[in-house]
Chains A and B, each alone.
Chain A
Amino acid sequence: GQNIDQPTEMTATEGAIVQINCTYQTSGFNGLFWYQQHAGEAPTFLSYNVLDGLEEKGRFSSFLSRSKGYSYLLLKELQMKDSASYLCAGGTRSGNTPLVFGKGTRLSVIA
C-alpha cells in the first residue's frame, strides 16, 4: 500500500535549523518530492530526490534513504517567511499518475 507519514506541526526559532522527517511504506515510488505551501496558496516545488543521499539547494536540503523508506527536509537559517506547510510526496516514474502526498507538516517560525 501507499502511506506517507510526517509530523503534523513543528515550531522553530528564527535563525535556527529544523529537520522535517517523512517516512513512507510503499512499493513503486522512485522519487521523493518536497513542496512548500503557504496558507491560502498552492504548493510550490522545493526538491526532488531519486537517489540516496543529501541534495542541497541554498538554505534547503533534502535527504533520502530508499532502503529505510525515509526522507527529511532540512531548513537552515530559518526566516519568518519559512512559516508554511511542508508536504512530502512520493511518485512513480509515470506522468499519468499523481504524486502521493503526506498530510503536511505545519512549521511555525517564531522570533
Chain B
Amino acid sequence: GAVVSQHPSWVICKSGTSVKIECRSLDFQATTMFWYRQFPKQSLMLMATSNEGSKATYEQGVEKDKFLINHASLTLSTLTVTSAHPEDSSFYICSARDTRGAETQYFGPGTRLLVL
C-alpha cells in the first residue's frame, strides 16, 4: 500500500513553544491530507482537512489560529501547534487518501507530543 511518513515521531517541549509536525506522502501525490488527534484510550478525532494550495478546513471546536496547517506541495503538509500547553499533549496522526485504485486512507506513524 501507499506510504505516509511523519516527522518527528516524538516531541517533548516546554509550555509556550511552537511545534511543527511534517506529513509526507512518499509514493503518491495527495492534494488533500487529514490531521487527527488521539488521546489515550479514546477515538481518533479529525482536526482538519489540509488542502494543497488553499486554506485548511477545520472541524468544529478546533482553533485554526492554534493549529496552523500549511499544505506546501502535493506531498507535504505541516501542522504547527502554536504556544503549546500541557493540554495539547496528545498523539497527532496525519493521513492521506491514495486516489489510485480504492482510495484507501493511509496513516502516517503518528507524532507523540508531550508539553511540559
Q: Are A43 and B44 in contact (CB under 8 A)?
A: yes
Q: Are B110 and A101 in contact (CB under 8 A)?
A: no
Q: Are A101 and B103 in contact (CB under 8 A)?
A: no
Size class of the A contact interface (CB-based, 8 Å):
20 to 34
Q: Are A104 and B110 in contact (CB under 8 A)?
A: no
Interface, chain B (partner A; CB < 8 A): 1, 30-32, 34, 43-44, 46, 49, 51, 91, 93, 95, 97-99, 102-110, 112
The yes or no answer to A78 lying at the interface (CB within 8 A) is: no
Q: With the chains together, A45 CA to B104 CA distance in Å? A: 8
Closest residue on chain B to residue A104 by CB atoms: B43
Given the contacts A42-B93, A95-B99, A98-B34, A103 and B106 also touching, CB distance less than 8 Å: no
The yes or no answer to A11 lying at the interface (CB within 8 A) is: no
A-B Cβ contacts below 8 A, count: 59
Q: With the chains together, A41 CA to B40 CA distance in Å? A: 11
Given the contacts A42-B109, A43-B44, A87-B44, A98 and B49 also touching, CB distance less than 8 Å: yes
Q: Are B105 and A96 in contact (CB under 8 A)?
A: no
Q: Are A43 and B107 in contact (CB under 8 A)?
A: yes
Listed by A's residue number, 25 A-B pairs whose Cβ atoms lie within 8 Å are: A31-B102, A31-B103, A33-B104, A35-B107, A40-B91, A41-B109, A42-B93, A42-B107, A42-B109, A42-B110, A43-B44, A44-B107, A45-B104, A87-B44, A95-B31, A96-B31, A96-B51, A98-B46, A98-B49, A98-B95, A98-B97, A98-B105, A99-B97, A99-B105, A104-B44
Q: With the chains together, A19 CA to B99 CA distance in Å? A: 29
Residues of chain B within 8 A of A40, CB atoms compared: 91, 112
Q: With the chains together, A101 CA to B106 CA distance in Å? A: 13
Contact flags A75-100 to B (C-beta < 8 A → 1, else 0): 00000000000010101011111110
Q: With the chains together, A23 CA to B91 CA distance in Å? A: 27
Q: Are A33 and B44 in contact (CB under 8 A)?
A: no
Closest residue on chain B to residue A43 by CB atoms: B107
Residues of chain A within 8 A of B31, CB atoms compared: 95-96
Residues of chain B within 8 A of A63, CB atoms compared: none
